[in-house]
Chain A
């Protein structure tokens, strides 16, 4: 698998499984990350993403499967012998040590000379702009400062892989957005591959080069953020990653017959399942155009009655009843020159063939 000439993968996970008692936390997960790549494990709590991360760090032993870092098998190594470092959700800063001693802790364990430790601690603290606070204790720091110390502590040993467990969970929203960019910037400079666990899809999309959407212990889909948003493979991914209207129908070539809506939905790709199979069709709310008259030349169009309008500031969501029990959501922008549909109005919905995504399961 490891070609001598090609650089080995940063991380390679092969067939990992983990059960806790009767509960399967991780069921047969495999994936690779190239050097310098950023992978986000995205999912709801209990989907197995944290267990997966903890197996890579060495805190949980997989029941079966292997974990390779830069080509060497670390599955049987204890955490303190693995070339990976983790930034904990709680940061896990040692409360009885100063910032500098926290950051230097890992180097002390390695037996690095004292002068060298001092130099590298300072360097790491410079990187996260915390050098002035080196002698503070964790309880004298703000949440954002603590997070930067935790980050410095995790990168100071120059790990081959950096693990981030919900790194932004303890920060407020404004700080979160700024920190995401800083983290990615820092990662680019250092060139360390990272795996980030998060339940926040904005975070996954803005920080990761690849996203793995996890569901009940398996990876439902792995790909770039764009692929996963534009071409989700399953109802779960379409619904979880972003928001989607999902219609049920029957595949027929590049059409999906949708009796509930009363039309055949045109798509630009055929269902994998083949003709006659039950499939889903996902349509993103912001890809639906609204108009008072039947739109000319639209790939797909259908009429409904406006049921409710929720104003969200940057956009509004219009709930349109297409048939009894079938409501579609359409996003409309809130520029003042746009018409605002009113409750009870008849309205036309239109969307392009390429925005109707056929879902396998």
Chain B
């Protein structure tokens, strides 16, 4: 390699890297600094914008001492975690089945998983609102099977939120899992069988550990956005289920308390810092570089 790149090369690199870098610094990174700053301000309903920069940690003290907010944080993490596990349980067999299908069939099977992702998120959640309502298809089915008398309404329960998250985020789970499973060298499984491993043990000792990067990536792709999910708890969940994304939304739009909403956002971001950093590391490895 040349000791130092020539000037035209540097210029070209600056022209390539510069615009997206500047854009992301200005419109993605800088806003976080502003949010952090405003989270130490105070609500000023009569001002425009309704913020007074007082430099207090009052918002944080309030959020951490009020049971409602603490509950909302904890239940967001819990709901997102449970929904992630459910998505994995459905997504893994699907990704596995697609990866084991004949190579000529895989693209179409994969496209069928991606297609719903391309159709409106809002509309897909809306669909479940109809299906889960009191007189909807799911209840009709449950009644027809007559499992436990009146099933009640799923809409408005925590189960509806799980269902919504699993449904909306399934493609994000299947894609990285498929990528990991498809790369898996089949001769490794043959070698395991040759050495005496039954199919189930070969799966546990070879397939599963080798698909772990896909499992982690898929889980993070579901878990992180699900923690801050707003549409799903709002349209499918009930009033008793609090998720932090909805709390933030309400503080902002209903109570117009921008500093408090900012503090909610900062705390949410702090809680997600570790998983986001982990996801970053997984992806950055793919991109290579130093």
A residues contacting B by CB (< 8 A) are: 57-59, 78-82, 84-86, 88-90, 92-96, 105-106, 109-110, 153, 157
Cβ B196 vs Cβ A157 within 8 A:
yes
Q: Which of B7-15, B141-149, B154-162, B187-195 is the contact stretch? A: B187-195
With CB as the reference atom, state the residue of chain B lying closest to A110.
B196
Instruction: Choose among B185, B193, B206 the residue that contacts A90 (Cβ–Cβ < 8 A).
Output: B185
User: With A80-B197, A109-B196, A157-B196 given, is the CB distance from A86 to B191 under 8 Å?
Assistant: yes
Chain B CB within 10 Å — which of A57, A84, A92, A153 has the most?
A: A92
Q: How far is the CA of A339 from the CA of B22 in the complex (A)?
A: 78
User: With A92-B188, A94-B188 given, is the CB distance from A106 to B193 under 8 Å?
Assistant: no
Cβ B197 vs Cβ A96 within 8 A:
no
Cβ B193 vs Cβ A58 within 8 A:
yes
Cβ B196 vs Cβ A92 within 8 A:
no
B201: Cβ under 8 A from any A Cβ: yes
Which of chain A's residues have a CB closer than 8 A to the CB of B190?
Answer: 57, 59, 79, 86, 88, 92
Cβ B195 vs Cβ A153 within 8 A:
yes
Which of chain B's residues have a CB closer than 8 A to the CB of A106?
Answer: 195-196
User: With A90-B187, A92-B188, A96-B209 given, is the CB distance from A85 to B193 under 8 Å?
Assistant: no
B135: Cβ under 8 A from any A Cβ: no
Query: Nearest Cβ in chain B — how far from A91, in angstroms?
Result: 8
Query: Nearest Cβ in chain B — how far from A76, in angstroms?
Result: 15
A-B residue pairs in contact (CB < 8 Å), sample of 30: A57-B190, A58-B193, A59-B190, A59-B193, A59-B194, A79-B190, A79-B194, A80-B192, A80-B193, A80-B197, A82-B194, A86-B191, A86-B194, A88-B187, A88-B190, A88-B191, A89-B187, A90-B185, A92-B188, A94-B188, A94-B191, A95-B188, A95-B210, A96-B210, A105-B197, A106-B196, A109-B196, A109-B197, A153-B191, A153-B195
User: With A95-B210, A96-B209, A109-B201 given, is the CB distance from A79 to B187 under 8 Å?
Assistant: no
Q: How far is the CA of A157 from the CA of B195 in the complex (A)?
A: 8
Cβ A92 vs Cβ B187 within 8 A:
yes
User: With A106-B196, A109-B196, A109-B197 given, is the CB distance from A92 to B210 under 8 Å?
Assistant: no
B285: Cβ under 8 A from any A Cβ: no
Interface SS of chain B: helix
**B86-117 interface (Cβ within 8 A of A):** none
Chain B CB within 10 Å — which of A81, A82, A93, A109 has the most?
A: A109
Can you list, as one digit per residue, whether each of B3-28 has a CB less than 8 Å from chain A (1) or not (0)? 00000000000000000000000000
Cβ A80 vs Cβ B196 within 8 A:
yes
Cβ A85 vs Cβ B187 within 8 A:
no
Which of chain A's residues have a CB closer than 8 A to the CB of B196?
Answer: 80-81, 106, 109-110, 157
Instruction: Choose among B187, B188, B194, B209 the residue that contacts A80 (Cβ–Cβ < 8 A).
Output: B194
Instruction: Choose among B191, B197, B201, B209 the residue that contacts A92 (Cβ–Cβ < 8 A).
Output: B191
With CB as the reference atom, state the residue of chain B lying closest to A165.
B187
With CB as the reference atom, state the residue of chain B lying closest to A85.
B194
Which of chain B's residues have a CB closer than 8 A to the CB of A153?
Answer: 191, 195
Q: How far is the CA of A105 from the CA of B206 in the complex (A)?
A: 11
With CB as the reference atom, state the residue of chain A lying closest to B189.
A92
Which of chain B's residues have a CB closer than 8 A to the CB of A110?
Answer: 196
Cβ A94 vs Cβ B206 within 8 A:
yes
Can you list, as one digit per residue, whether each of B163-196 has a CB less than 8 Å from chain A (1) or not (0)? 0000000000000000000000101101111111
Query: Nearest Cβ in chain A — how far from B98, in angstroms?
Result: 22
With CB as the reference atom, state the residue of chain A lying closest to B186.
A92
Which of chain A's residues have a CB closer than 8 A to the CB of B194?
Answer: 57-59, 79-80, 82, 84-86
**B188-221 interface (Cβ within 8 A of A):** 188, 190-198, 201-202, 205-206, 209-210
Which of chain A's residues have a CB closer than 8 A to the CB of B193?
Answer: 58-59, 78-80
Q: How far is the CA of A106 from the CA of B198 in the complex (A)?
A: 11
Which of chain A's residues have a CB closer than 8 A to the CB of B206?
Answer: 94
Which of chain A's residues have a CB closer than 8 A to the CB of B197?
Answer: 80, 105, 109
> When A and B form their complex, which 5 residue pairs have the shortest distance between CB atoms, in order from nearest?
A106-B195, A109-B196, A92-B191, A79-B193, A92-B187
With CB as the reference atom, state the residue of chain A lying closest to B206.
A94
Query: Nearest Cβ in chain A — how far from B189, in angstroms?
Result: 9
Q: How far is the CA of A128 from the CA of B198 in the complex (A)?
A: 27
Which of chain B's residues have a CB closer than 8 A to the CB of A89?
Answer: 187
With CB as the reference atom, state the residue of chain B lying closest to A54.
B190
Which of chain A's residues have a CB closer than 8 A to the CB of B198?
Answer: 80, 109
Q: How far is the CA of A304 from the CA of B194 in the complex (A)?
A: 57
Q: How far is the CA of A58 from the CA of B191 in the complex (A)?
A: 11
Q: How far is the CA of A88 from the CA of B186 in the complex (A)?
A: 11
Q: How far is the CA of A106 from the CA of B206 in the complex (A)?
A: 13
Q: How far is the CA of A153 from the CA of B187 in the complex (A)?
A: 14
Chain A CB within 10 Å — which of B185, B190, B195, B197 has the most?
A: B195
Query: Nearest Cβ in chain B — how far from A238, in angstroms?
Result: 35
